[in-house]
Structure 1
């Protein structure tokens, strides 16, 4: 178990699932948009990917930069910057894989949500993969209370911007991408639901 943790860190279990399936085996450049301290980047850093990360919190950027320096000294520190997901400071079609884990449900409103998604899609190469984990109302639609602008009060007391299957399918079509896996949702005892949205860019 210690070897497993050393290899993958505290990675999102559904991102781990994609790695086990070999989905990203041909990817070389990876961006974690909302990387925090780098919990989802340990495997990529250890396996010679070109790893980039952005986070609006400078403290988190400092932590992920230190993690990169320890695990992959060859990975430039300049790859990690303080920025927002809706205004990514990268060229178009720069990455083979873009990760967005527990970021999109902090959208302020539908326009903010769409701007984040389109920004991440812009920097994704044709044929590249987009991995997102985000809160949804799938399975708990009758248990959440609307607050306006697409935000809801969840049974666990948190406030989140929520999507549903129809919204995700509509955006997938709008982007011109396709689901390389079905949409999957985990219901945490009817307190909150987290959905996995896995796309590939045509």
Structure 2
């Protein structure tokens, strides 16, 4: 019986799916989903036997990932999913070839917290590794975002987020001595919020 697409791929981010199609993720890589939630981006990777690790601050979310992995992954060790904050992970330096950070960084409290999270993601990324991040930004809707201080903004959809600018992302890329393996891509959603894809490769 043919597997349904939803069963095979879960709720995967379409831009992460794009990276799969482009061959950016391969089975010889160690992959980290940093801020994994209940594992929506992990279904295909787990089912297909990729070496995947996951962290989230929510214990309930990590328990969901364990349940998912134990039901579909060919091999799964509970140590692979941990209750941890992105800015303070227990992994060794240069542990991962590819890191997923999907809808996580815009929950930073302020500029310092954002920088701490990015620096920690960079620390555990191997030389030559890739960071795939999707995060809220002000790109294309600068005049519609109401500043609240500390990098926080009130969005037209009523939510409060830490927002980055194009200048911030390009500046951070330069500070890390990384380079974009994809151009910045921003989607404006119903003129209420913006989501930007930031894809950075660490020098080898």
Q: Is the 8 A contact 1:100 1:131 kept in 2?
A: yes
Aligned counterparts of 1:5 and 1:177: Cα–Cα separation in 2: 34
Instruction: Return 20-29 or 46-55, whichever deviates more.
Output: 20-29
Q: CA deviation at 1:27?
A: 4.8
Q: Is the 8 A contact 1:27 1:97 kept in 2?
A: no
Q: Name the residue aligned to 2:171.
A: 170
Q: Name the residue aligned to 1:149.
A: 150
Q: Is the 8 A contact 1:134 1:195 kept in 2?
A: yes
Q: Name the residue aligned to 1:92.
A: 93
Aligned counterparts of 2:83 and 2:62: Cα–Cα separation in 1: 6
Gap regions ≥5 residues in structure 1: none
Q: Classify 1:167/1:27 alpha carbon distance in 2 versus 1 (closer, same or farther; 3 Å).
A: farther
1:58-77 alignment runs, 5 A limit: 58-77=59-78
1:30-109 alignment runs, 5 A limit: 30-109=31-110
Q: CA deviation at 1:75?
A: 1.9
Q: CA deviation at 1:71?
A: 1.1
> How many residue pairs end up in the alignment?
202
- Mapped pair 1:112 → 2:117: no
Q: Is the 8 A contact 1:65 1:77 kept in 2?
A: yes
Q: CA deviation at 1:6?
A: 2.1
Q: Classify 1:170/1:27 alpha carbon distance in 2 versus 1 (closer, same or farther; 3 Å).
A: farther
Runs of 4+, deviation exceeding 4 Å: none
* TM-score, scaled relative to structure 1: 0.97
Q: Is the 8 A contact 1:31 1:98 kept in 2?
A: yes
Aligned counterparts of 1:27 and 1:190: Cα–Cα separation in 2: 40
